Structure 1
Amino acid sequence: MATITKRLVRSAKPRGKKYEISCSSLRGFILRVLPSGKKVYFARCRHDGRDTRQRIGLTSELSFEDARARAGLLLTRGTTTPTGRADSAPAPGDASPYLRDFTRRFLDGHVDIAVKASTARAYRLALKNHILPRFGGARLAAITREDVETWVGSFRRHPQAARTACMVLSCLFSKAAQWGALPPSHVLPTRGVRLKPTRARDRFLTADERARVEEVLQRGLELPTSHRGALHWGIVYAIRTLALTGMRSSEVFGLSWDRVDMSRKLFRLADSKTGQKLVPFSDEVLELLREVQRLGDGRSSWVFQSRAGRSHVAKASVGRAWRRIRERAGLGDDVVIHSLRHSFASDALMSGVPLAVLGRVLGHKSPRTTARYAHVSDAAIVDALKKTSERIATAQQSPSSARGRRDARATGARRERQGRPLDDS
């Protein structure tokens, strides 16, 4: 099984007998190659309890993008048309635009002007890899909630990808309704769609785990660059900054010196997830930045420059390094880079920092977002309960308490001998 692409369609050669190629990325999408050299797109659908092949069209008459989009819609609905051929356009919603046509307006009129660049890239990937292959050939008003639910179910073991793609699709439909591309009474097909919950990553580092991570970082910094365990200083100090500030990785990795105010101890972030913001930092971070200045070549505009010095450290490079650091520190796969931000927030809350103040430090627009970080690790709960119990037990074992318990026991015994109730006063 291979992924059917334009190149594969062009390169597929006829044989003595017809044969089929099934697509691994869009299951049910089929290319049939005939001995005559003709090539036909099909979709394998369920109809009346049977598998049937739905003819979509010849490769010479239909573009690859249209064929894949129509196959995606057929596979989402899981049925065939009465004629045995794919409709060129769905019957309902004939006045509404095709999703693939509206996508350009959505990108130009919303994504490119109102969404941060890194988020816009995620939107484009979701559209390219998930939304357009399934719904690109359908008219907006023809896509139903059942279609979306079936599509979401196809993600199976990738709930986060489903969540992102559904969020983008929901945004697209909201803009379509807002801009008049859908009838005013149209119910958005993404409304009420239930998504599989993603695994909560509320993992916090203990003091011992932080010490082990720092030990690995320092050792990697001191090793010769040719050594397998060596770590580039840009990555080491970027990770240390993440741990000490609770900033987002995207804010730290691409930090430039013109955004650092050493005298006022502020980061001036122009392209944060929540827009422009000021991030104060501590004396420890100030000392760390001075060390970075000594380690840098003095020519780069980036704070945490790459090994070659031409750019800043890349997210992928830090991710690979973090997996090695995590393994050497004896941490599990549940400890990701973002766990450093969670840990910072959790430690701040347990130290008595109010939620409102923490929200400003983390750069949250809504207090509800900050409340996510108001978790306390299980170890901290157990430790708090243990300390509380120890204090109570110690108080109960004080001389005055012990004497009081002895007096109470003596009084109880005397009353029993006299036949009086124990609670009689």
Structure 2
Amino acid sequence: MSPPALADTNLFKPIKVGSVTLKNRLAFAPTTRLRNAEGGFATNLVQKHYEDRAENNGGLLIAEASFVSPQAGLFPGVPMIHTEEQAKTWKPITDSVHAKGSSIALQVWYLGRASYPAILKAAGLPMLAPSALYMDEESEKAAIEAGNPVRAMTTEEIHQLIADFKQAAIYAIKVAGFDFVELHSAHMYALCQFIDINSNKRTDEYGGSIEKRAKLVLDVVDAVCEAVGPEHVGIRFSPYVTWQGGSGADSPLLHPIAQYSYIFSELERRGKEGKRIAYIHNIEARVGRGIDVKDGPEHSSEWVRQIWKGVLIRAGGYLHQPDYANLIKDVNDNDRTLIGVSRYYTSNPDLAERLKKGLELSPYERDNFYSQGNYGYNTYGKSGEKNLDKDSDVAKEKAVPLV
């Protein structure tokens, strides 16, 4: 069975997001690939990766999650946007994407208790979280062995987190040239940890009730919007996440709709008051673990668009059905939905063209997601072209920081 051509669906109709008009409604969802240089600098390999996916596209690419500070997280190959020098390494990338007629956002994140304790310890940094709670026994063991046990953030450290997100957004928009900055409040990283009742047991202004658990993420949104304008701001959520200790839909403590409907309502209220952010990026309920697509019955995410009346990016296994049934239904359902795709974008640089024309997709290769070399990163061909092998010159190309 050949995949259907989607040229006549809403996926290939233009849409205005913030102050940018996209030519289609396909978004390259943020995808960590570990191809950046030491010091958090973007590289030539990263530039080629996004440039290839911007060609003959016209849609939105959301660049991989970047740390807002060393305290936010340290890991080899992950970018950081904490200094002007780091931000400037992204400018050739945004320029090349814009030259191809596409738009680009940068996702920014803070790991919290999902950090790597030994790496932080080596840098003289503590393990910080909403509360002194671990994801699981394995993470607790790793922290204790590293001599870097997790502890609850002080109010001052929370305020510094907000300041770091704000400064990262300024660098992303005003120095690096991104069209949008996407706040990573999904998958049980720091902002999501403050929202989730499993990981936030605080009794101060940042915990103890639905409203207080939402305070940090809304404070970050407000600070970033003030700094760069709401039209440049997006945010990603995963209400049903169970990965990394998330409470999910089956929590006996609180259903995610109760918590997240408040947050979406607050963002909608800001929108009606003239401060509407560019988009909300929501992970579908069927991807509860954050990494796997479930088959069979699922909880619905339809309530999200009933509350939030702005642009909504929906992501989660949309290309796993041979007939793209969920994708077609959801993108055609209204005039403000984009579809986010991650894994199939890794192996199909011309994904937009393939979906438009109904061409076969190349399968993604999970073994190459985090392999760090150029093989399995910039070695996938367009439709009708062969993938390059490990012995090719391209596969052997080394990462060079864009400084």
TM-score, normalised relative to structure 2: 0.23
Higher helix content, 1 or 2: 1
When normalised by structure 1's length, the TM-score is 0.23
> Which structure would you say has the larger RCO, counting Cα contacts within 8 Å and 6 or more residues apart?
2
